[in-house]
Amino acid sequence: MNRNVIRFQQDNATPHTSEITQDWFSANGFIFETTRDWPAQSPGLNPIEHVWYQLKRKLNTYPTRPTTKEELEAHITSE
């Protein structure tokens, strides 16, 4: 695996395919690849969505929600 290559996994949702998004990628040296044949707004096909789900589940076990970045980091790293 080439660690110098960054791949953004995006579905066909409008925020991912808009001209302004593509312009940002180009201006920042990224090559915008055409998205795969994924249906729009398909979080079930994106592996990171499962990570976010698990993280939210764990955070919801605390009696109070973190209100600062430091509290959030403490909750996340205590697992």
Alpha helices in the chain (DSSP H): 14-17, 19-27, 47-59, 69-77
| Terminal Cα-to-Cα distance of the chain (whole angstroms) | 29
Contact of 66 with 72, CB cutoff 8 Å? yes
Each residue of 12-52: pLDDT tens digit? 778 878 899 889 888 888 876 655 566 666 666 677 788 88
Q: State yes or no: pLDDT of 59 exceeds 80.
A: yes
- The model's pTM is 0.48
Cα-based torsion angle of the residue sequence 47, 51, 53, 49 in order, rounded to the nearest 10 degrees: -30
